[in-house]
Amino acid sequence: ALPVGVLALQGDVREHLAVLSDLGADARPVRRPEELDAVRGLVIPGGESSVMDKLSRLFGMREPLRQAIADGMPFYGTCAGLIMLSDTVLDAIEGQQTLGGLDVVVRRNAFGAQVDSFETDLDIPVIGDPPVHAVFIRAPVVESVGAAVDVLAALGDDRIVAVEQGALLGTSFHPEITGDTRFHEYFLSKVRSA
């Protein structure tokens, strides 16, 4: 089976491991550089991006992760994971860094304090019918994208919530908690063809 990792420093690691295993992948938690070397793709889960950033540095994972992105390994970031993959983050915690890779500007907690979480159905052409039931939890929004970035989904005209750039995939929402496995299948197809 295809060895695929979930970055297991913080966040909803189990949910992603369960979906990937159900889809037949050899899904493994990744905390150390050796574990990263042994997988062909990596999910960065939802959680708290500023904590994930700190832990990635404490665990000596920041540079290995950046190298894997530079080497073209497929990554899929959900929510905090999308923030980690973004080149620029607005409303970051003081000193917060990202791994980068996606040429996008993302804003943390973009839906504000009144609306901590909400759900909606999204038409996403690369995923197909039926629409994706998307769950947003203190979610980021992509405010602008570079020329090499494909916008996969947006709320209205300007609030981008799913992007792809080469081997990198990111969503503001959390497919791992809805039982809809199509985003993970899409990611696994990218890992297989990488």
Catalytic residues, by residue number, are 79, 174, 176
How far is it, in rounded angstroms, from Cα 37 to Cα 35?
5
Looking up tokens 């994930």, which residue turns up? 52
CB of 91 to ligand GLN, least distance (A): 8
Q: Which range in 78-86, 126-134, 144-152, 155-163 contacts ligand GLN by CB under 6 A?
A: 78-86
Q: 23 or 51: whose CB is closer to ligand GLN?
A: 51
How far is it, in rounded angstroms, from Cα 32 to Cα 30?
6
Radius of gyration of the chain from its Cα atoms, rounded to whole angstroms = 15
The alpha carbon of 149 is separated from its chain's Cα centroid by a whole number of angstroms, namely 15
Q: 3 or 88: whose CB is closer to ligand GLN?
A: 88
CB of 44 to ligand GLN, least distance (A): 10
Cα 74-76-78 angle, rounded to 5 deg: 170
Please say whether the beta carbons of 48 and 92 come within 8 A.
no
Residue 119 labelled as part of a binding site: no
How far is it, in rounded angstroms, from Cα 194 to Cα 189?
9
CB of 131 to ligand GLN, least distance (A): 21
Q: 49 or 56: whose CB is closer to ligand GLN?
A: 49
Short-list 44, 78, 81, CA closest to 175: 78
Cα 145-181-7 angle, rounded to 5 deg: 65
CB of 12 to ligand GLN, least distance (A): 8
The mark string for 32-71 relative to ligand GLN (x by CB under 6 A, - otherwise) is --------------xxxx----------------------
- Binding to ligand GLN, residues 85-144 (CB under 6 A): 108-109, 137-138
Q: 37 or 116: whose CB is closer to ligand GLN?
A: 116
Residues at the contact surface with ligand GLN, assessed by CB under 6 A: 46-49, 79-80, 83, 108-109, 137-138
